[in-house]
Chain A
Amino acid sequence: MKPLRILWSCFLAITIFMVGMQPAQAFCGFYVAKADTNLYNQASQVIISRDGERTVLTMANDYQGEVKDFALVVPVPVILKEEQVHVGNPKILSRLDSFSAPRLVEYFDSNPCEIRAFDEDIMFKTAPQAASMESGLRQERSLGVTIEEQFTVGEYDILILSAKESDGLETWLTHNGYKIPPGAKEILQPYIRQNMKFFVAKVNLTEYDQQGFKKLRPISIAYESPKYMLPIRLGMVNAKQEQDLIVYLLSPQGQTELTNYRTVKVPSDRDIPEFVKAEFKNFYTSMFQKSYERENKQVAFLEYAWDMGSCDPCSAEPLNREELKQAGVFWLNSSSRNLRSPRNNVFITRLHVRYTGDKFPEDLKFQATGNRQLFQGRYVIRHPYTGEMNCSAANEYKRSVRDRQEREVQTLASLTGWNINDIRNKVEFVESQPIPWWRTLWNQ
């Protein structure tokens, strides 16, 4: 028998079950093998553009298994019609990612023997990764489950289900080829009781083959609801490991924060040794893990908060109007009645949430705030001047560089938890000759 395979993943921290027709033991195991190819092994990416109660939610998709096995189930606050669902361009997520990613900046020291030289800024960026999904299902009605809407958008066949009881929904999904992991029933129940609907998507193979895309594209949904939340509990049903979620929150006002968890800034603006340039991703993941543990694993990290009209320094070009529209920004150029919200303004907040079932017992709840303080994860490398130096200031300069290098080593050790001696071995310390103590006494 062809084994049934289900991916119940957490794609959108939102509960997304990856469901399929194959062996059941693979729940959430799909991402495990990717640990060495991606920065985070179970990362999901979501864009939420919201102004007032109007919301556009985009779920990224880096599912790499058989497309016929892909299925996804997401609780949504309202019934969605065909025109409210859109299949977008996957590039938009990588654009947002590179625009907002934590960045490494390098500066070159000038020759201390020259009066003036110019600093040069070069930037590198890290690129945390996206998520995925998959599907397969047949339709059937029974057990208190109602198919509210049914349509095909792009390569996806989509159903909007409402249910009266989780037993009925579970049976319905099972009958229709969705293998639901044990424990899902208890998690589904609260969503049903809150009168939420279920967005169920699978890939329409005919459409998929015709369109010739290699990868599944992100799905965007547009709706109006006072609920500003992201359901993450379904995605945790079978996941024992920590999962990474990166949420890009776009608002006309300012920063968006969580209301039921703390939002904490990642350490930023730190000087670190030169060798980190070659292993920046490694540095960032270690530093993130250390910060995550220091905060007792129960906070969301702010990685970037900026007005999207500019950036300084830029790790990527700011998004143009068309790209912002693709990201779900709908308020540009609109003549809104709400005079309080400044038009033509997009503020991005990038939150990085690493969650487990025990530390994040509730779904994520957000609120938009008027906070326009800018923040970026930024790490600085300062290259010492290595050319010839023929002046009395040179020795003094070398000593200051050596002190600086030592400070950088200590900063790196405390940020990442790496062994300080290993770090010292990797640093090329500047040779400096000790200055005789009497020289400073008589100004020789």
Chain B
Amino acid sequence: MKDIYTLARSPKILDDARIYQILFLSFFLCLGIGTRDWTLRPDLIAVVIVSCLLVQWCLSALVEYAKKKNDHICLTNNTQLSIENIFNPKVISSLQSALITALGLCLLLRGNNYTTMAIASCLAIASKFLFRFHNKHFFNPANFGIISALILTNDAWVSPGQWGTNWWYLLLFAGMGGIVLKKVGRWDTSVAFLLSYASLEAMRNFWLGWGWEVWQHQFMSGSLLLFALFMLTDPRSIPNATISRLIWAVSIAVVTFILQDYFYLSTAIFWALFVISPLTILFDRAWSAPRFTWKRMLVVRD
């Protein structure tokens, strides 16, 4: 008989939703480049991926090093400690998240120069280490990178119309997004956002006297769906409790609606997420729930 309580099932690779996310985002990237006439440059994609991975590696190795140093304050062999940290499985595993951020940036952010893309990538990853509260980062890294590039550089832009409004793409996003959200259990957030944003726009369209075809056109935007399914639902940075996630998603919908329709901001959804993200801290205080971890360690009784 196996020892009880202590045996953790070693996680299978497909238990990790990040693998799905990496596969799907890479697929979208190839699809966009192949079929959507994007002006994406391979060299800029490389810059984004390399800088995201490098910064993640360095910073998480540094964090691990600092942790261990605290734990073994009297340990003298620093060299061995740092080499261990560089190849620490935790550090290596965190590269997956960095790759997701990199792919998100490649899909959404456009720029002319290496520096622009590098600034966005470095700040995106650095935000995970800088803006933390109770050991949880509260900005979506890719979103933080996009906003930083929009503010700090003069050649960064986002193309909201880049996916068009084809049914085929929408079904694809919805299907793949659904798989990831089922894995991470955050579909409620996407649904709350889409429903509340759709209702607000429907009310505005009704008040203005526009037909349903306008509303339908607004909601068939591939970029909107991709944002709602893949960026808004980052389980590590959004509130932990269901109720707080719902309120959080509705707030983002309201801010997006205001920025889009009353301030005419074409990047409204990114700004809305950026502005609301810090509220995660308050939401987590108000409604507590266990934090999300990518790999669920299941305790087995036998």
User: Which residues from chain A sit less than 8 Å from chain B, CB to CB?
Assistant: 166, 186, 189-190, 193-194, 226-228, 253-254, 257-265, 296, 298-299, 340-341, 358, 361-362, 365, 367, 369-373
- Please list the 7 inter-chain residue pairs (A to B) with the smallest Cβ-Cβ separation, ordered nearest first: A370-B155, A369-B157, A189-B209, A190-B208, A262-B164, A361-B213, A340-B154
User: Which residues from chain B sit less than 8 Å from chain A, CB to CB?
Assistant: 36-37, 39, 110-112, 153-157, 159-166, 207-211, 213-214, 216-218, 221, 263-264, 266
CB distance from B169 to the nearest CB of A (A): 11
CB distance from B118 to the nearest CB of A (A): 16
In angstroms, Cα B111 to Cα A254, docked, is: 11
Q: Is B161 in contact with A186, judged by CB distance below 8 angstroms?
A: no
Given the known inter-chain contacts A228-B264, A371-B39, please indicate yes or no for A262 contacting B161, CB distance below 8 A.
yes
Residues of chain A within 8 A of B207, CB atoms compared: 193
In angstroms, Cα B166 to Cα A340, docked, is: 36
Q: List 30 A-B contacts (CB under 8 A).
A: A166-B209, A190-B209, A193-B208, A193-B209, A227-B264, A228-B264, A254-B112, A254-B155, A257-B159, A260-B161, A260-B217, A261-B164, A261-B165, A262-B36, A262-B161, A262-B163, A265-B37, A298-B164, A298-B165, A361-B214, A361-B217, A362-B217, A365-B266, A370-B111, A370-B153, A370-B157, A371-B112, A371-B157, A372-B155, A373-B112
Minimal Cβ-Cβ distance residue in A for B207? A193
Residues of chain B within 8 A of A189, CB atoms compared: 208-209
Which of B156, B157, B163 is the one whose CB lies under 8 Å from A367?
Answer: B157
Residues of chain B within 8 A of A254, CB atoms compared: 112, 155
Q: Is A296 in contact with B166, judged by CB distance below 8 angstroms?
A: yes
Residues of chain A within 8 A of B217, CB atoms compared: 260, 361-362
Q: Is A373 in contact with B221, judged by CB distance below 8 angstroms?
A: no
CB distance from B24 to the nearest CB of A (A): 21
Minimal Cβ-Cβ distance residue in A for B222? A262
Q: Is A259 in contact with B209, judged by CB distance below 8 angstroms?
A: no
Residues of chain A within 8 A of B266, CB atoms compared: 259, 365, 367
CB distance from B193 to the nearest CB of A (A): 19
Minimal Cβ-Cβ distance residue in B for A375? B39
In angstroms, Cα B266 to Cα A190, docked, is: 20
Residues of chain A within 8 A of B218, CB atoms compared: 260, 362
CB distance from B217 to the nearest CB of A (A): 5
Residues of chain B within 8 A of A372, CB atoms compared: 112, 155
In angstroms, Cα B263 to Cα A253, docked, is: 21
Which of B156, B164, B263 is the one whose CB lies under 8 Å from A299?
Answer: B164
CB distance from B35 to the nearest CB of A (A): 11
Residues of chain B within 8 A of A365, CB atoms compared: 266
Q: Is B112 in contact with A370, judged by CB distance below 8 angstroms?
A: yes
In angstroms, Cα B162 to Cα A81, docked, is: 37
Given the known inter-chain contacts A260-B160, A367-B266, A371-B110, please indicate yes or no for A194 contacting B208, CB distance below 8 A.
yes
Residues of chain A within 8 A of B160, CB atoms compared: 259-260, 367
A264, A340, A371 — most chain B CB neighbours (10 Å): A371
In angstroms, Cα B161 to Cα A261, docked, is: 5
Q: Is A361 in contact with B211, judged by CB distance below 8 angstroms?
A: yes
Q: Is A259 in contact with B161, judged by CB distance below 8 angstroms?
A: yes
Q: Is A264 in contact with B110, judged by CB distance below 8 angstroms?
A: no
CB distance from B218 to the nearest CB of A (A): 7
Residues of chain A within 8 A of B216, CB atoms compared: 361
In angstroms, Cα B297 to Cα A54, docked, is: 58
Given the known inter-chain contacts A193-B208, A193-B209, A371-B110, please indicate yes or no for A257 contacting B155, CB distance below 8 A.
no
Residues of chain A within 8 A of B213, CB atoms compared: 358, 361
Residues of chain B within 8 A of A341, CB atoms compared: 154
Residues of chain B within 8 A of A340, CB atoms compared: 154
Residues of chain A within 8 A of B156, CB atoms compared: 370
Minimal Cβ-Cβ distance residue in B for A188? B209
Residues of chain B within 8 A of A193, CB atoms compared: 207-209
In angstroms, Cα B260 to Cα A227, docked, is: 11
Residues of chain A within 8 A of B166, CB atoms compared: 296
A265, A341, A370, A372 — most chain B CB neighbours (10 Å): A370
Q: Is B161 in contact with A257, judged by CB distance below 8 angstroms?
A: yes
Q: Is B209 in contact with A186, judged by CB distance below 8 angstroms?
A: yes
Residues of chain A within 8 A of B263, CB atoms compared: 226
Residues of chain B within 8 A of A190, CB atoms compared: 208-210
Residues of chain A within 8 A of B162, CB atoms compared: 262
In angstroms, Cα B153 to Cα A358, docked, is: 39
Minimal Cβ-Cβ distance residue in B for A296? B166
CB distance from B60 to the nearest CB of A (A): 32
Minimal Cβ-Cβ distance residue in A for B215? A361
In angstroms, Cα B39 to Cα A260, docked, is: 17
Q: Is A369 in contact with B161, judged by CB distance below 8 angstroms?
A: no
Minimal Cβ-Cβ distance residue in A for B157? A369
Residues of chain B within 8 A of A253, CB atoms compared: 154
Minimal Cβ-Cβ distance residue in B for A360? B217
In angstroms, Cα B153 to Cα A296, docked, is: 36
In angstroms, Cα B164 to Cα A264, docked, is: 10
A259, A362, A373 — most chain B CB neighbours (10 Å): A259
Minimal Cβ-Cβ distance residue in B for A228? B264
Residues of chain B within 8 A of A186, CB atoms compared: 209
Residues of chain B within 8 A of A262, CB atoms compared: 36-37, 161-164
Residues of chain B within 8 A of A370, CB atoms compared: 111-112, 153-157
CB distance from A190 to the nearest CB of B (A): 4
Minimal Cβ-Cβ distance residue in B for A300? B161
Minimal Cβ-Cβ distance residue in B for A357? B213
Residues of chain B within 8 A of A264, CB atoms compared: 37
Given the known inter-chain contacts A260-B160, A373-B39, please indicate yes or no for A226 contacting B264, CB distance below 8 A.
yes
In angstroms, Cα B207 to Cα A213, docked, is: 45
Residues of chain B within 8 A of A367, CB atoms compared: 157, 160, 266
Residues of chain A within 8 A of B159, CB atoms compared: 257, 259, 369
6 more A-B contacts (CB under 8 A) besides A190-B208, A340-B154, A370-B111? A166-B209, A226-B264, A261-B165, A265-B37, A296-B166, A367-B157
CB distance from B53 to the nearest CB of A (A): 26
Residues of chain B within 8 A of A261, CB atoms compared: 161, 164-165
Residues of chain B within 8 A of A226, CB atoms compared: 263-264
Residues of chain B within 8 A of A373, CB atoms compared: 39, 112
CB distance from A372 to the nearest CB of B (A): 6
Residues of chain B within 8 A of A260, CB atoms compared: 160-161, 217-218, 221
In angstroms, Cα B155 to Cα A372, docked, is: 9
Residues of chain A within 8 A of B39, CB atoms compared: 371, 373
